[in-house]
Amino acid sequence: MFFDNCAVPDINVVGPVHEGFKVAMATLDGGRIGIACQAIGIARAAFERSVAYAKERKSFGVPIAQHQAIQFMISDMATQIEAARLLAWRAAWMKDRGVRHTMESSIAKLYASEMATRVTHKAIQIHGGYGYSTEFPLERHYRDARITEIYEGTSEIQRIVISSGLLR
């Protein structure tokens, strides 16, 4: 779409004139916090299902939650979810205070989206064949987690934004 000689009333201008790119980038910064939170929610849902399932499902006569390998997976999942949550809170806190948060939003989005993929992968592992089945929500959680690594800027773009902030 092209607009030539188009007049826009002052009341309809978003941000300062000729500063549209900055406005768009600031919008992305906030959106990345939202994607981080979405990824955390997806991971949390997969985690909660995994904990419940591990307490119910038995192997060798005991709930699989008693097996060290499952305990390690659940511990790692919880730790990664909490780390992502704190990164997202930090970026949101900065945004709420009007502080520049470009790098922090990208850090939160990068970590949370990749964490959600790792956590949902482990959730499928804990559930075994049921985790892969479309009759259980975990396969959808995995797909939903994976897309958070793509929209609002891929993980590679987030790494560029982060390194630009660090190497400035």
**Catalytic residue numbers?**
152
SS3 at position 63: strand
Distance CA 69, CA 74 (A): 9
Distance CA 81, CA 40 (A): 6
SS3 at position 134: coil
Within 8 A by CB and 6+ apart from 7, the residues are none
Strand 62-63 versus strand 58-59 pairing type: antiparallel
Compute the residue count for the chain: 168
| Residue 74 token pair | 């659940």
Ramachandran area for residue 61 (φ above 0: left; ψ -120 to 50: alpha; else beta): left
Pair 126, 54: CB distance under 8 Å: yes
